[in-house]
Amino acid sequence: MKICFELNENPHSPYTVERLWAVDLLNGGYKIDNSPFDVYDISHKDIVSAKCVDGELVFQTVIKRGQHSTIRIRLNSSHATFLGFWGEFSQLNCSFEGAGKNGNRLYSIDVPPSADVKDVLQKLADLEKQGSLEYEEAHIYQRK
């Protein structure tokens, strides 16, 4: 099933909504089952509430954080270029989803709780300084 998120705050997106895959936990909560490309402040494994509006589940609030972080990468080159530096992030147990074509690629990076998000951000900052990519922090989980 999918949950609809309104995109009020993303100036980079031409869309007004993003629909994320979720698993119904049968207790009023839904566990997000992919990384968002456009939604801010939501990550893989977060548990959210949603209500049915006109036959569609619409996001209401975060119930519990899944302890994952989401970082987006914009790349003006090929997927092969991305894969050329991805190994460093794969070793940190990160995963990705990608979209777009050469010259305009977008990746949503899932940083699991087992990875040190500071290391991931430092590697991305270094690559951005080299002009290899642009990145943004869509949601960084803050350990308490």
Interacting residues of 131 by C-beta distance below 8 A, sequence separation 6+: none
pLDDT in tens, 22-70: 999 998 899 999 999 999 999 999 999 999 999 999 999 999 999 999 9
The terminus-to-terminus CA distance of the chain in angstroms comes to 31
Dihedral angle of Cα 36, 32, 48, 73, to the nearest 10 degrees: -20
pLDDT in tens, 95-143: 999 987 656 789 999 999 999 999 999 999 999 998 888 999 999 998 7
CA-CA distance, 110 to 121, in Å (whole number)?
12
- CATH number for the 69-139 domain, one of 3.30.70, 3.30.910, 1.10.287, 1.10.240? 3.30.70
CB atoms within 10 A of CB 60: 12
User: Where are the chain's structural domains?
Assistant: 2-64, 69-139
